[in-house]
């Protein structure tokens, strides 16, 4: 079983839609959960992170972690064409100072 699983999509939605991106992981030792956004032909950039369980909100983005079910989610409200990118979940035991384990990435297209 891979340490983190992510549905690779792709996912296509109309502008203004609510988007839900999800990952599952297998090892309860992981404590840091991150979402990276990668535009075409660019390097990934950190979008959001959460530590342990709970929700974190930043503008139109909400990151959610459920450690009991080993499930992490990223919600995008009022999606915009500029949100079109590949979204990768990443997990680690000690945050970004330690090696990250990435999901395969979900390619999202928001159509105007």
Q: Which residues bind another protein (CB under 8 A)?
A: 6, 8, 32, 34, 41-46, 49, 51, 88, 94-105
> What's the min distance (Å) between Cβ of 64 and another protein?
16
Residue 15 structure tokens = 């502008």
Phi first, then psi: give them for residue 93, nearest 5 degrees.
Answer: -85, -30
Cα–Cα distance for residue pair 75/101, rounded to 1 Å: 21
For another protein, give the closer residue by CB, 43 or 112.
43
Cβ atoms of 65 and 78 within 8 Å: the answer is no
Nearest distance in Å: CB 28, another protein: 17
Q: Cβ of residue 16: shortest distance to another protein, in angstroms? A: 29
Of the pair 49, 75, the CB lying nearest another protein is at 49
Q: Are 7 and 86 in contact (CB under 8 A)?
A: no
């Amino acid at each position: 079983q891979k340490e983190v699983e992510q549905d690779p999509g792709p996912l296509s939605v109309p502008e203004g839609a609510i988007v839900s991106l999800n990952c599952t992981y297998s090892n309860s030792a992981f404590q840091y959960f991150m979402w990276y956004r990668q535009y075409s032909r660019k390097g990934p950039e950190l979008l959001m992170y959460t530590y342990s369980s709970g929700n974190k909100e930043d503008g139109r983005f909400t990151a959610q972690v459920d450690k009991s079910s080993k499930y992490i989610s990223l919600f995008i409200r009022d999606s915009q064409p500029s949100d079109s990118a590949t979204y990768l979940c990443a997990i680690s035991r000690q945050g970004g100072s330690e090696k990250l384990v990435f999901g395969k990435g979900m390619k999202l297209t928001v159509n105007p």
